[in-house]
Structure 1
Amino acid sequence: MNLQLQLFVRILIIAVICIVSSAWYVLYQTNQQALNEAEATASRIEHQIRQQLLQMFQRYDFTQSFPDIGLWNKIDSVPGSCTQFLSRTQSRQRSLCNATQASNKDYPIWFGHFYTQFFNPGVEVKRSVNFNAIKYGTILVTLNVDIETARAWHNLQAALGVLVVTIMALCCLVFITINRMLKPAKDIVAGLEKMRAGDLAIRLPDFDIAEWKRTSHAINALVSTQQNIMAENKQLSIKIMNTQEEEHRYISRELHDEFGQCLAGINAVTTSASQSAKNSCPEIVEELNSIRHITGHMMSALRDLLTRLRPAELDELGLETSLKQLIKSWNQRSSGKTHYSLSLVGNMDELAETLAVHTYRIVQECLTNIAKHASAEHAEVNINIQEENALSLIIKDDGVADLSAFSSSNGLGLLGIHERVAALGGDLSLDTQINGGLVVTIILPMTQKAEA
Structure 2
Amino acid sequence: MRLVLQLVARLLVVVMLCLGAATVWATIDAYRSVDRATEASAERVSQALRGLYWHELMLHGSRMREHLLPVPEWRTIETMKLISPGVCVRFEPATAFEKPLCGQDKGLGTSPPAWFASTAQTLLGRHAAVAKPISARATTFGTVSAAPDPDASIRLAWQHILDNIGVALLMAAAIAVLASLAIAHTLAPAQSIVAALKRMAHGEYRTSLPRFRSMEFAMIGQAVGDLGERLAKAMEERATLTRRLLEIRNDERRTLARELHDEFGQNLTAILAFANAIEATGTEAKDGAVAQDARMISKAALAIMACLRGTLNRLRHPLAEELGLEASLISLVDNWRSQHEARPMIQLDLKGDLADISGTVAATAYRVAQECLTNALRHTSAREILLRIERRSGSENALLIRVEDDGGGDAISIAKASGFGLTGIRERLAALGGTVSVARATRGLSIDATIPLAA
Same fold (TM over 0.5): yes
Query: CA separation of 1:151/1:428 partners in 2, compared to 1, >3 Å: closer, same or farther?
Result: same
Q: Give the corresponding residue for 1:338.
A: 344
Query: CA separation of 1:251/1:347 partners in 2, compared to 1, >3 Å: closer, same or farther?
Result: farther
Q: Which moved more, 1:270-279 or 1:206-215?
A: 270-279
Q: Which moved more, 1:152-161 or 1:331-340?
A: 152-161
Q: Partners of 1:391 and 1:258 in 2: how far apart? A: 39
Q: Which moved more, 1:93-102 or 1:416-425?
A: 93-102
Q: Partners of 1:421 and 1:346 in 2: how far apart? A: 20
1:98 to 97, 101, 105: 101
Q: Secondary structure at the match of 2:387?
A: strand
Q: Give the corresponding residue for 2:4.
A: 4
Q: Give the corresponding residue for 2:371.
A: 365
Query: CA separation of 1:192/1:6 partners in 2, compared to 1, >3 Å: closer, same or farther?
Result: same
The one-letter code sitting in structure 2 at the alignment partner of 1:383 is I
Q: Could you report, residue by residue, the CA deviation over 1:129-164 in whole angstroms, capped at 9, with x for unpaired residues?
A: 99xxxx999875422123323433444455445544
The one-letter code sitting in structure 2 at the alignment partner of 1:368 is T
Q: Partners of 1:360 and 1:301 in 2: how far apart? A: 21
Q: Could you report, residue by residue, the CA deviation over 1:360-388 in whole angstroms, capped at 9, with x for unpaired residues?
A: 22122111222134433333434355566
Q: Which moved more, 1:279-288 or 1:26-35?
A: 279-288
Q: Give the corresponding residue for 2:189.
A: 184
**Conservation of the 8 A alpha-carbon contact between 1:369 and 1:405:** no
**Conservation of the 8 A alpha-carbon contact between 2:84 and 2:103:** no
Q: Give the corresponding residue for 1:108.
A: 111
Q: Partners of 2:392 and 2:40 in 1: how far apart? A: 101
Q: Partners of 2:349 and 2:83 in 1: how far apart? A: 109
The one-letter code sitting in structure 1 at the alignment partner of 2:426 is H
Q: Which moved more, 1:366-375 or 1:242-251?
A: 366-375
The one-letter code sitting in structure 1 at the alignment partner of 2:401 is L
The one-letter code sitting in structure 1 at the alignment partner of 2:100 is C
Task: Quote the offset at 1:93 in angstroms.
Answer: 9.0
**Conservation of the 8 A alpha-carbon contact between 1:319 and 1:356:** yes
Q: Are 1:423 and 2:431 matched, yes or no?
A: yes
Q: Could you report, residue by residue, the CA deviation over 1:352-411 in whole angstroms, capped at 9, with x for unpaired residues?
A: 443333222212211122213443333343435556664343333444465355654221
Q: Partners of 2:304 and 2:337 in 1: how far apart? A: 22
Q: Partners of 1:315 and 1:9 in 2: how far apart? A: 64
Q: Partners of 1:101 and 1:317 in 2: how far apart? A: 110
Task: Quote the offset at 1:264 in angstroms.
Answer: 1.0
Q: Could you report, residue by residue, the CA deviation over 1:210-234 in whole angstroms, capped at 9, with x for unpaired residues?
A: 2211111111111111122122222
Q: Which moved more, 1:364-373 or 1:350-359?
A: 350-359
The one-letter code sitting in structure 2 at the alignment partner of 1:147 is A
Q: Secondary structure at the match of 1:109?
A: coil
Q: Give the corresponding residue for 2:25.
A: 25
Q: Give the corresponding residue for 2:451.
A: 444
Query: CA separation of 1:387/1:281 partners in 2, compared to 1, >3 Å: closer, same or farther?
Result: same
Q: Secondary structure at the match of 1:206?
A: coil
1:258 to 254, 263, 266: 263
Q: Give the corresponding residue for 2:316.
A: 310
**Conservation of the 8 A alpha-carbon contact between 1:369 and 1:406:** no
Q: Partners of 1:31 and 1:406 in 2: how far apart? A: 74
Q: How many residues align?
A: 436
Q: Give the corresponding residue for 2:60.
A: none
Q: Partners of 1:163 and 1:407 in 2: how far apart? A: 59
**Conservation of the 8 A alpha-carbon contact between 1:407 and 1:415:** no
Q: Secondary structure at the match of 1:335?
A: coil
Q: Are 1:394 and 2:394 matched, yes or no?
A: no
Q: Partners of 1:432 and 1:370 in 2: how far apart? A: 14
Q: Partners of 1:92 and 1:359 in 2: how far apart? A: 119
Structure 1 portions without partners, runs of 5+: none
TM-score, normalization by structure 2 = 0.77
TM-score, normalization by structure 1 = 0.77
**Conservation of the 8 A alpha-carbon contact between 1:267 and 1:295:** yes
Q: Are 1:409 and 2:415 matched, yes or no?
A: no
Q: Partners of 1:171 and 1:312 in 2: how far apart? A: 68
Structure 2 portions without partners, runs of 5+: 58-62
Q: Partners of 1:180 and 1:267 in 2: how far apart? A: 84
Q: Partners of 2:16 and 2:165 in 1: how far apart? A: 11
